[in-house]
Amino acid sequence: MSKQKAGPRLPENCALAWGKMIRVSPQKLNLVAKMIRGLSADKALRALSFSPKRIAVDVRKVLASAIANAEHNQGLNPQKLYVQEATVGRALVMRRLDVKARSKAGRIEKPFSHLRVVVCEPEVE
């Protein structure tokens, strides 16, 4: 008795893209991800291109990849797409030594993050 094969995790009218090991803290990345949640895909791309945040460039690349996946793999219309979800998760944290005065040491933490962007086409009823 083996486990049954898992079904599709996303509906037919959605596509996703991952951005893994992005060199920024999850808190800072979530500020930019919050900016595009619920927007149409072209509005989200425009908002990211004019954002002053450094990480907006990487978020824009992941969003563009999700749009391309929707168009190429699912055959969806890129003009009708909207950002259904943009979730941020923690990845590893690089720890570095910061030498202080009088033989003391501190820790420098350099966090990484994951980004998951799902774009969908509204269902026609």
Say what the pTM is: 0.90
Per-residue pLDDT tens digits for 16-47: 999 999 999 999 999 999 999 999 999 999 99
What does each C-alpha distance from 105 to 98, 99, 111, 123 come to in angstroms?
6, 5, 19, 57
Domain 14-120 = CATH 3.90.550.10: no
